[in-house]
Every structure is written in structure tokens, then in C-alpha cells.
């Protein structure tokens, strides 16, 4: 019975890691496109560094899968590329040109992806505690890097969001007379 449970758990781990590999492939495509889009702007260099790191992280995931004898399911990789490209078709307020909203949405998507990657590294930390095929120190470093990446993406997202939304908030804000509370009814 234990052998059957081990086989079942192994299949579940294979599906789990392949799902993360699919997401990693889509993330690498997206972050590389974002870095190209912002080349020559203040966002360009940090996006370029992130693109390199995220590609390295995907390679690290492949190495983990190899160490655990888990083959990559290439059909899922194709689905990831299709999904990333389909995501470009989202309505963004403009039909032909790139919208400033695209930056906000793409940075949010990347942050969500990096948070998912961090969750996978945490799951692998637990496995590395008992499985000698995995190096716990390497997994720990990958988790720390994912946390730094998430912080950087949030900083870039906040800047992009402020650039897109703050001007309209300032233009439409109704001044509140001194000494009155917003939303209070006049007597």
C-alpha cells in the first residue's frame, strides 16, 4: 500500500512542478517582452535584471525536476506560451496602441507569478528536508530571491499605477472645506 501511495504522491508532484514550469515559461516570455518594451526608460534596467533572474529560476526548477526524476511535460509548455500570448489580447482601453494600463496589469501579473513561484520553493523546502536529492540551501536562496523580486515588482507596479491613476484622481478630487469631514451632511 505504501508503494502505491508513493507513486500517487510522485504523480501529484510531477503535475505540480510541471504546472509551475508552465507558469515559469509564460513568466519568462512576459518579463522579456516587458524589458524590451521599456528599453531606454528608467524601468528598463530593473526589468532586464528581473528577466535574467526569472529565466535562471526557471532553469533551477528544471534542475530540481531532473534531480527528482520528473520529466517536463512539453505540451504544458506550449499551453503556457499560448496563454501568455492570449493575455496580450486583453482590453486595455486602446485598440491599436499600447495603453499605460498595460504596464500596471503586466507588473501585477508578474508579481502574482513570482508569489506563486515563492510558494513552490516553500513546498520544495519541505521536500528537501527529507529528500537528499534536493539541496535545501539552494531552495532557500531561490525563495529569498523570489521575495526580493516580489518587492521590486511591487515597487515598479506602484510607480506605474501612480503614473496612470494619480493624475486623474488629482483632477477629479473635490476639495473639502477646512474643518469639515468628508462625506458629512451639511446642517
DSSP 3-42: HHHHHHHHHHHHHHHHHHHHHHHHHHHHHHHHHHHTTTST
Residue 3 lies in a domain: no
Q: What is the mean pLDDT of the chain?
A: 84
- In this prediction the pTM is 0.78
Residue 177 lies in a domain: no
In a domain, 18, yes or no: yes
* pLDDT for 91: 56
**Tell me: the pLDDT tens digits for 87-139?**
555 555 545 567 889 999 999 999 999 999 999 999 999 999 999 999 999 99
Is 38 part of a structural domain of the chain? yes
Q: What is the pLDDT of residue 1?
A: 46
C-alpha cell at 4: 502505491
Long-range contacts of 78-85 (CB under 8 A, 24+ apart): 79/22, 80/21, 80/22, 80/23, 80/24, 80/25, 80/26, 81/25, 81/26, 81/29, 83/26, 84/25, 84/26, 84/27, 84/29, 84/30, 85/29
Calculate the dihedral angle through the C-alpha atoms of 35, 121, 16, 102, rounding to the nearest 10 degrees.
Answer: -20
Asked whether the predicted pLDDT for residue 184 surpasses 70, the reply is no
Do 133 and 83 form a contact (C-beta atoms < 8 A)? no
Read off the pLDDT of each residue in 13-26 and give the average, rounded to a whole number.
95
The band of 154, judged by pLDDT with boundaries at 50, 70 and 90, is very high
For residue 149, what are the contacts with CB-CB under 8 A and spacing of at least 6?
50, 53, 54, 114
Instruction: Render pLDDT for 140-151 as a digit per residue (tens, 0 to 9).
Output: 999 999 999 999
- Which pLDDT band holds residue 182 (cuts at 50, 70, 90)? very low
Tally of domains in the chain: 1
Q: Report the distance separating Cα 53 and Cα 35, nearest Å.
A: 12
Instruction: Find, among 58, 174, 175, the residue nearest to 117 by Cα.
Output: 58
In a domain, 180, yes or no: no
pLDDT over 90 at 156, yes or no: yes
Write the CATH number for 53.
1.20.1260
The CA-atom distances, in angstroms, between 106 and each of 30, 31, 43 are 8, 8, 13
| Confidence bin at 166 (pLDDT 50/70/90) | confident
118 part of a folded domain: yes
What residues make up the domain containing 68? 8-82+100-166
pLDDT > 90 in the chain, percent: 67
Residues with Cβ within 8 Å of residue 34, at least 6 apart in sequence: 47, 51, 103, 106, 107, 110
Instruction: For residue 141, tell me if it sits in a domain.
Output: yes
With 90 as the cut, is the pLDDT of residue 180 above it? no
Domain assignment present for 95: no
Amino acid at each position: 500500500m505504501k508503494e502505491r501511495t508513493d507513486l500517487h504522491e510522485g504523480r501529484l508532484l510531477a503535475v505540480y512542478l510541471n504546472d509551475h514550469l508552465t507558469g515559469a515559461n509564460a513568466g519568462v516570455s512576459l518579463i522579456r517582452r516587458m524589458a524590451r518594451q521599456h528599453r531606454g526608460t528608467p524601468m528598463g534596467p530593473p526589468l532586464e535584471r528581473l528577466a535574467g533572474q526569472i529565466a535562471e529560476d526557471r532553469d533551477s526548477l528544471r534542475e530540481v525536476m531532473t534531480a527528482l526524476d520528473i520529466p517536463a511535460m512539453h505540451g504544458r509548455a506550449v499551453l503556457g506560451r499560448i496563454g501568455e500570448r492570449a493575455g496580450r489580447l486583453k482590453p486595455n482601453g486602446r485598440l491599436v496602441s499600447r495603453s499605460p494600463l498595460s504596464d500596471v496589469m503586466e507588473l501585477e501579473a508578474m508579481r502574482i507569478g513570482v508569489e506563486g513561484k515563492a510558494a513552490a520553493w516553500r513546498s520544495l523546502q519541505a521536500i528537501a528536508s527529507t529528500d537528499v536529492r534536493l539541496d535545501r540551501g539552494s531552495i532557500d536562496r531561490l525563495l529569498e530571491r523570489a521575495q526580493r523580486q516580489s518587492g521590486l515588482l511591487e515597487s515598479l507596479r506602484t510607480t506605474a499605477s501612480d503614473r496612470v491613476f494619480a493624475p486623474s484622481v488629482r483632477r477629479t478630487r473635490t476639495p473639502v472645506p477646512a474643518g469639515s469631514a468628508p462625506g458629512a451632511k451639511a446642517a
